[in-house]
Amino acid sequence: MGKKKQEMSQVYNNSNNEFIFGENGGKGKHLSSFLKNLSLTGTSSTSSVHSANTDNIHEINSNIYGTLGYSSSKVSSNQSNSGPPPKRSVSYKDLDDDWDADIDVSTDSVVRRSPDNRNLSRVTKVESNTSSRSSFNLQPSPMLDSLYPDLTLPATNSSVNLNSQKPTNEESLDVEDYRTTMEINRLNQISSRNNKFRNILISDSIVNLQDLRKLAWNGIPSELRALTWQILLGYLPTNRARQASTLKRKRQEYLEGLNASTIDFEDTAPSNSSSLYHQIKIDVRRTNQSIKLYGYPETQQSLRKLLYLWAVRHPASGYVQGINDLCTPFFQIFLLNYIWQLQQRVLSILEADTYWCLSRLLENITDNYIHEQPGIIRQVGDLRNLISKIDLELLNHLDHEGVEFLQFSFRWMNCLLMRELSISLIVRMWDTYLSETPLGFNNFHVYVCAAFLIKFSNDLKEKDFQEILLFLQNPPTGHWKEKDIELMLSEAFIWQSLYKNASAHLR
């Protein structure tokens, strides 16, 4: 983790990304999977196969990851010309679901007047925002939200609201309170600087470039950097009414440029005759390799594409070594911006889904975790019964050595063998548990435990009390593969069909 953290902070140039790496934030190690997801959605959205199937996948992806992508020209023309208009938040209430729409000020004002329930909260936000723009609890502007579909500002850290919720009690100002106050002051400072940026970026219909330069000269808050850079470079127009459409047009243009080329940008593509592309390819492979981000095949492919396109469109210079380095600050700053969005949007979805699925799972084994854990006690008893039928010799040996089932199999029930098997094997096991009726976490699990124990039967019969316990506490499953699990599951299945009714009868 420590190492990863370091790598990642390199990725972001030590930018002060509290959301990702801060003490309260997520762990750095999740970042790589975010990156992967990012590139996955990116790839799938450019796929132009138009079928009910891919639509579904696209819809699911956008539900899960948010509609981050913008479609390639082929896809978008398909969507607008054929088929029904895309459904809007019918099954999924997402206030941001019109991210990929090309919204300009006129549509935004329509939205604000819209009586549609879905937009009510947005309207409220707009109103409360104007009344308290300079106050501490300033929410990220919803106007920015709709104006810059890809540059949403991260929500203000909720701890910032401490100030209003928890007035400082001067009499009992102990260390904790002191620390809190300091933290609030620090956040206040950051927040007031952020507010200055926000004011410039949203208060007028034309962004005052002069003011923005003056402010940005001393550094830009990291969550506003992507947006500010794009304006300062003249990529994004200062006229806010034209920003969204410009973004869309420019991105489309880029994609069309790529589509016109005949290069296969896949890493695995057979080496190309173009010496230009070859040069780019070998350079990209060597770009910033100390930083993990640039090691991902997805990243490298992106760099190859954009460098190649630039080179063919600028024949006077073409590709010159070093330009590969110049694209990286943009690449990572803009990526960072997406990760903020992803973290916010995805994390809460991820949490909610995990919460509900965990609840469903636990419903099946509530007896395991109530007072005195009767479910586990019963399962341990069932396990003993089963072994008496399947492997009496083993049972006799355990009894002879004075090993109690509770001593070694309590944990198997309490943690569903998660301490005994690697997570990837557990995941495979859950495929089967989830397909059992009723779900396999309760009764079927006991049969699996029996199969698990009997796997080691011959070893165990050679051992004494202590050796047995030490062995079962740390069973040698390190080298196990999916097929070992599958064998165990089918053994469990057979025993279940043999003994299911008998064991109920036996009790």
Partner 1 sequence: MSFPNPATSVKLVLLGEAAVGKSSLVLRFVSNDFQENKEPTIGAAFLTQKCTIGERTIKYEIWDTAGQERFASLAPMYYRNAQAAIVVYDITKPASFIKARHWVKELHEQASKDITIALVGNKYDLVEDDTEEESLRKVSVEEGKGLAEEEGLLFFETSAKTSYNVNDVFIGIGSKIPEAASAGPNQIHQTNNDGRIDLTSDPNNRPRAAGDCAC
Q: Where on the chain is the footprint of partner 1 (CB under 8 A)? A: 369, 371-373, 404, 406-407, 410-411, 414-415, 419, 464, 466-467, 469-470, 473
**Minimum distance of partner 1 from residue 375's CB (angstroms):** 12
Q: Which is nearer to partner 1, 79 or 407 (CB)?
A: 407
What is the spatial distance between Cα 418 and Cα 159, in angstroms, rounded to a whole number?
Answer: 35
**Minimum distance of partner 1 from residue 382's CB (angstroms):** 17
The tokens for 243 are 């920003």
**Minimum distance of partner 1 from residue 414's CB (angstroms):** 5
**Minimum distance of partner 1 from residue 261's CB (angstroms):** 51
DSSP designation for 420: T
| 365: helix, strand or coil | coil
What is the spatial distance between Cα 471 and Cα 484, in angstroms, rounded to a whole number?
Answer: 19
Q: Which is nearer to partner 1, 235 or 369 (CB)?
A: 369
- Kindly report whether the peptide bond that precedes residue 86 is cis, defined as omega within 30 degrees of 0: no
Torsion of CA 438, 442, 447, 452, to 10 degrees: 130
Q: Which is nearer to partner 1, 431 or 467 (CB)?
A: 467
**Minimum distance of partner 1 from residue 363's CB (angstroms):** 18
**Minimum distance of partner 1 from residue 495's CB (angstroms):** 24
Q: Which is nearer to partner 1, 125 or 411 (CB)?
A: 411
Q: Which is nearer to partner 1, 410 or 430 (CB)?
A: 410
The tokens for 202 are 């949203």
- At residue 243, φ and ψ (nearest 5 deg) are -65, -50
299 to 42, 267, 284, 314, 329: CA distances (angstroms): 11, 11, 9, 23, 13
**Minimum distance of partner 1 from residue 465's CB (angstroms):** 9
**Cβ neighbours of residue 298 under 8 Å, at least 6 residues apart?**
35, 36, 38, 39, 42, 43
What is the spatial distance between Cα 371 and Cα 359, in angstroms, rounded to a whole number?
Answer: 18
Q: How many CB atoms lie within 10 A of CB 219?
A: 10
Side chain identity at residue 362, one-letter code? L
Q: Which is nearer to partner 1, 284 or 446 (CB)?
A: 446
Q: Which is nearer to partner 1, 21 or 408 (CB)?
A: 408
Side chain identity at residue 78, one-letter code? N
**Cβ neighbours of residue 433 under 8 Å, at least 6 residues apart?**
439, 440, 441, 444, 445
Q: Which is nearer to partner 1, 175 or 233 (CB)?
A: 175
**Minimum distance of partner 1 from residue 397's CB (angstroms):** 17
Q: Which is nearer to partner 1, 135 or 466 (CB)?
A: 466
What is the spatial distance between Cα 31 and Cα 239, in angstroms, rounded to a whole number?
Answer: 35
**Minimum distance of partner 1 from residue 372's CB (angstroms):** 5
The answer to whether 405 touches 450, Cβ cutoff 8 Å, is no
